[in-house]
């Protein structure tokens, strides 16, 4: 693997790009259909927190995609020479709502590229900073962590029969199926094959099934918080700890902690923790 200490690769740190997208109401209504919430969005309505992820879809031509469905590492993103790419987590601050129908500007900066070694071999962590602004100015600041790693077999975590369910104030159950995963991929124009191509996911990448999108899990945790708590989030951070797969029940749970903060987490079949998150309302 080429070292991330190579001067050419480190030169990507600090690079920026700017994009614009109109947050069309029709697209928001399709997202609402994904979540079965029946919302009929119109221009001027506030977009639910995290739904900006359904906009700014990639425009890479089919000829520019790699064998996994991701865009080849050219252009703005640094050419990290590891084949597997996953969204590992992020941190967001909400300053104001983004609204349906408005044109939103997103400024992106590459904050860091760091190489580490772990149980799964070489890892490279890329952190991006996004600033999204609408008609009323800065609305969302976001840091996004992306991890790259080599080929390996990923088994579904084994359940712990002795584990106790942590105390929680609310809970929702969700079963990801191939239709949900396909719709989420379509709504985000995400061509990563692990989410919809079962032979590729199991035979080429070594997963036990279709992989649930990390951002899908995060949006479901946010949805549960808003429905059960009814408060507006000021900040949201999340971290993926283990993958979730199609066909298994996912428990989405939340608990109020001190100082207006809330702990949220997603558990896979058998009780393993797949994602943790924190929401603050102040």
Q: In DSSP terms, which residues pair with 92 in a beta bridge? A: 142, 236
- Decide: helix, strand or coil at residue 141: strand
The pLDDT value given to residue 153: 63
As to burial, measured by CB atoms within 10 angstroms (0-12 exposed, 13-18 middle, 19+ buried), residue 212 is buried
Lowest mean pLDDT among 4-8, 32-36, 163-167, 256-260: 4-8
The pLDDT value given to residue 249: 95
Q: Which domains does the chain have, with CATH numbers?
A: 1-152 (3.10.129.10), 153-282 (3.10.129.10)
The pLDDT value given to residue 19: 96
C-alpha Rg value of the chain to the nearest Å = 19
What are 204-251's pLDDT values in tens digits? 888 999 999 999 999 999 999 999 999 999 999 999 999 999 999 999
What are 65-116's pLDDT values in tens digits? 888 888 876 678 888 878 788 899 999 999 999 999 999 999 999 999 988 8
Cβ neighbours of residue 7 closer than 8 Å, sequence gap 6 or more:
none
Is 0.75 topped by the overall pTM? yes
Per-residue pLDDT band for 5 (boundaries 50, 70, 90) equals: very low
Residues in the chain: 282
The pLDDT value given to residue 108: 96
88 and 125 Cβ atoms separated by less than 8 Å: yes
The pLDDT value given to residue 139: 98
What are 9-56's pLDDT values in tens digits? 678 899 999 999 999 999 999 999 999 987 789 999 999 999 999 999
Output the average pLDDT for the chain. 90
Residue 6: pLDDT over 70:
no
d(Cα 49, Cα 35) in Å, to the nearest integer? 14
The pLDDT value given to residue 89: 96
The pLDDT value given to residue 76: 80
d(Cα 15, Cα 3) in Å, to the nearest integer? 19
Residue 7: pLDDT over 50:
no
What are 120-140's pLDDT values in tens digits? 688 889 999 999 999 999 999
The pLDDT value given to residue 121: 80
The pLDDT value given to residue 156: 64
- Decide: helix, strand or coil at residue 242: coil
Residue 2: pLDDT over 60:
no
The pLDDT value given to residue 227: 95
């Amino acid at each position: 693997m080429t070292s991330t200490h190579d001067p050419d690769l480190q030169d990507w740190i600090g690079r920026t790009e700017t994009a614009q997208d109109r947050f069309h109401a029709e697209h928001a209504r399709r997202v609402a259909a994904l979540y079965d919430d029946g919302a009929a969005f119109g221009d001027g309505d506030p977009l639910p927190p995290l739904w900006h992820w359904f906009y700014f879809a990639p425009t890479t031509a089919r000829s520019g995609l790699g064998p996994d469905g991701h865009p080849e590492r050219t252009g703005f993103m640094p050419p990290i020479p590891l084949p597997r790419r996953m969204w590992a987590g992020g941190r967001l601050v909400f300053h104001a709502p983004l609204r349906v129908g408005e044109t939103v500007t997103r400024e992106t900066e590459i904050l860091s590229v760091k190489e580490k070694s772990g149980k799964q071999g070489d890892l490279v962590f890329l952190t991006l900073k996004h600033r999204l602004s609408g008609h009323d100015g800065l609305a969302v600041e976001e840091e996004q962590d992306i991890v790259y790693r080599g080929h390996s077999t990923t088994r579904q975590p084994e359940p712990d029969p002795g584990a106790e369910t942590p105390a929680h104030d609310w809970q929702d159950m969700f079963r990801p199926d191939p239709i949900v995963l396909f719709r989420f991929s379509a709504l985000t124009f995400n061509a990563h094959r692990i989410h919809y191509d079962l032979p590729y996911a199991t035979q080429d990448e070594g997963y036990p099934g279709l992989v649930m999108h990390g951002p899908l899990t995060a949006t479901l945790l946010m949805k549960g918080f808003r429905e059960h708590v009814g408060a507006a989030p000021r900040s949201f951070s999340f971290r993926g700890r283990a993958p979730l797969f199609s066909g298994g029940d996912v428990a989405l749970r939340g608990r109020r902690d001190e100082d207006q903060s809330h702990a949220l987490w997603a558990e896979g079949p058998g009780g393993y923790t797949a994602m943790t998150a924190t929401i603050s309302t102040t």
